[in-house]
């Protein structure tokens, strides 16, 4: 670099010296020098003109021929340009590969901006949602997928759990949608065909619902006969008397199990749901404490702290069922007696119904599994406290219907707290006589 500048300078100096000699010989020193300076300037301007011309024409082809410093500048620019073209080509190839591999994915992929306007999608997403390029580019995704569940999921940004909906464009296809926010809260949406899984799940639900329903009649007959036999118990031998008592207990238990299974099926299928209305939380809890009085021992103390003006918007029977399962659990799992505190609190975000006990508590590793069907910490069938393990699964479904969440805190040997968080939109803390019908 330095050499080239030195050579250029030396060449120019040699030219200047030659001009001085020629000028002195012909006696026109100033004229010759002026001519030399003008000549040099012309040469530089000409090279600059060529360079400019070449750049203006997108620098296509080889740069103009030049020697000295200009030749070096042209070569450097040309080299830089070649390098840039190469990396651009490489990036384009990588982009094409990514595009063609995502296009070939069986899963649908959609990119939408932070408002939900569609920017890009692959072929599977186009099939699943019936998207047409370029007409749908820039459209709001909620205008394309017109389902109320999807609208709620998308507008309230409930992206924690995947959503299953029917395909808006393909008959009989069920889609699982999972959304991730990236960059400036833009949306990356993955769509998966879960029709097979959905049908299997549906079959399972139908089977449980039908089997439970079909078991009801034979069980009623058995219970009827057991009751009749019970009336003549005294006339039977002692060994049979014990058997009848045992059978009656077990048939009661079976009836409860069937009732629970049928309730779960109804909750899952959203069938025949009671209309939502405003209910006094304190009234619900009073009915529960009256109903649970027979199972309380003298060592149990129930403290209820529920303001009279606390109101909740929902289905009465469902709320009763959920709250009563929590209260009954607190009693059942405090076998030595203890304090049970039922509370209602509210803040600007939530209304919180909680049941706290000083019972046996739960090991931390079991807590995430409590709402699974048939899950019981104590699996022993002979256990006196053991129920069917459906109670908390029912609670979870009921809370889901009421946009609420269950939070469990527990310490073995110390006690447990089950808290239901209802959204503020379902909570009212006043005694207005006319309930709004929102």
Binding site for ligand ATP (CB under 6 A): 260, 325, 329-330, 333, 357, 359-362, 370, 375-378, 386-392, 416
Least spacing, CB of residue 319 vs Mg ion, in Å: 16
Minimum CB separation from ligand ATP for residue 256, in Å?
Answer: 7
**Sheet containing 277-280: which strands, arranged edge to edge?**
277-280, 310-314, 427-429
Q: Shortest gap between Cβ of 217 and Mg ion (angstroms)? A: 26
Residue 297 CB, nearest distance to ligand ATP (Å)?
16
Q: Kind of pairing, strands 300-305 and 338-346? A: parallel
CB 52 within 8 A of CB 60: no
Handedness of CA 149, 155, 158, 159 (dihedral sign): positive
**Residue 330 touches which of Mg ion, ligand ATP, none (Cβ within 5-8 Å per kind):** ligand ATP
Does residue number 329 form part of the binding site for Mg ion (CB under 5 A)? Answer: yes
Q: d(Cα 423, Cα 419) in Å, to the nearest integer?
A: 13
How do beta strands 174-182 and 163-166 pair? Answer: antiparallel
Decide which of Mg ion, ligand ATP, none touches 315; Cβ closer than 5 to 8 Å per partner kind.
none
Min dist CB 262 to Mg ion, Å, is: 16
Decide: is 391 part of the binding site for Mg ion (CB under 5 A): yes
Q: Pick the closer one to Mg ion by CB: 159 or 366.
A: 366
Q: Where are the alpha helices (DSSP H) in 234-340?
A: 238-269, 281-292, 316-332
Q: Which stretch binds Mg ion (CB under 5 A): 97-105, 345-353, 375-383, 385-393?
A: 385-393
Q: Tokens 């007409």 label which residue?
A: 135
Helix (H, G, I), strand (E, B) or coil at 359: coil
Q: Considering only the stretches 41-49, 301-309, 324-332, 375-383, report the one whose residues sit in contact with Mg ion under the rule CB under 5 A.
A: 324-332
- Residue among 137 and 253 whose Cβ is closer to Mg ion: 253
Chain centroid to CA 112: 16
Q: Pick from ligand ATP, Mg ion, none: which does 370 bind, CB < 5 to 8 A by kind?
A: ligand ATP
Which of Mg ion, ligand ATP, none does 362 bind, CB closer than 5 to 8 A by kind?
ligand ATP
* Residue 193 contacts residue 203 (beta carbons within 8 Å): no
Q: Does 389 bind Mg ion (CB under 5 A)?
A: no
Q: Which does 195 bind (CB under 5 to 8 A by kind): Mg ion, ligand ATP, none?
A: none
Backbone angles phi, psi at 309, to 5 degrees: -90, 5
**Distance (Å, whole) CA 193 – CA 171:** 12
Site of interaction with Mg ion (CB under 5 A): 325, 329, 387, 391
């Amino acid at each position: 670099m330095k050499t080239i500048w030195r050579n250029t300078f030396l060449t120019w100096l040699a030219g200047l010296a030659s001009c001085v000699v020629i000028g002195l010989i012909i006696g026109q020193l100033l004229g010759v020098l002026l001519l030399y300076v003008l000549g040099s300037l012309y040469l530089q301007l000409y090279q600059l003109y060529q360079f400019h011309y070449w750049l203006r024409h997108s620098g296509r082809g080889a740069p103009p021929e030049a020697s000295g410093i200009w030749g070096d500048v042209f070569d450097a620019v040309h080299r830089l340009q070649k390098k840039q073209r190469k990396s651009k080509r490489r990036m384009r190839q990588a982009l094409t590969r990514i595009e063609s591999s995502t296009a070939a994915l069986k899963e649908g992929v959609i990119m939408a901006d932070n408002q939900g306007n569609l920017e890009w999608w692959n072929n599977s997403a186009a099939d699943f949602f019936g998207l047409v390029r370029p007409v749908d580019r820039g459209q709001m995704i909620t205008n394309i997928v017109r389902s109320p569940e999807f609208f709620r999921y998308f507008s309230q940004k409930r992206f924690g759990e995947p959503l299953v909906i029917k395909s808006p464009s393909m008959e009989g296809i069920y889609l699982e949608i999972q959304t991730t926010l990236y960059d400036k809260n833009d949306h990356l949406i993955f769509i998966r065909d879960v029709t097979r899984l959905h049908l299997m799940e549906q079959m399972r639900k139908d089977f449980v619902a039908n089997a439970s329903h079909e078991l009801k009649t034979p069980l009623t007959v058995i219970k009827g006969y057991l009751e009749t036999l019970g009336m003549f118990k005294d006339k039977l031998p002692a060994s049979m008397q014990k058997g009848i008592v045992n059978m009656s207990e077990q048939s009661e238990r079976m009836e409860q199990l069937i009732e629970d299974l049928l309730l779960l099926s109804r909750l899952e299928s959203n069938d025949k749901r009671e209309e939502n209305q405003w209910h006094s939380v304190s009234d619900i809890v009073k009915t529960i404490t009256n109903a649970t009085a027979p199972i309380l021992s003298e060592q149990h103390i129930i403290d209820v702290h529920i303001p009279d003006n606390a109101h909740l918007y929902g289905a009465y029977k469902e709320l009763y069922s959920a709250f009563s399962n929590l209260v009954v659990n607190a009693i059942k799992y405090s076998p030595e007696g203890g304090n049970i505190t039922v509370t209602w609190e509210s803040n600007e975000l939530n209304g919180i119904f909680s049941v706290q006990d000083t019972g046996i508590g739960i090991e931390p590793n079991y807590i995430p599994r409590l709402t699974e069907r048939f899950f019981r910490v104590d699996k022993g069938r002979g256990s006196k406290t053991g129920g069917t393990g459906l109670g908390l699964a029912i609670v979870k479904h009921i809370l889901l219907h009421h946009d609420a969440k269950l939070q469990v805190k527990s310490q073995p040997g110390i006690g447990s707290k089950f808290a239901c968080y209802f959204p503020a939109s379902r909570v009212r803390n006043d005694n207005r006589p006319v309930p709004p019908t929102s």
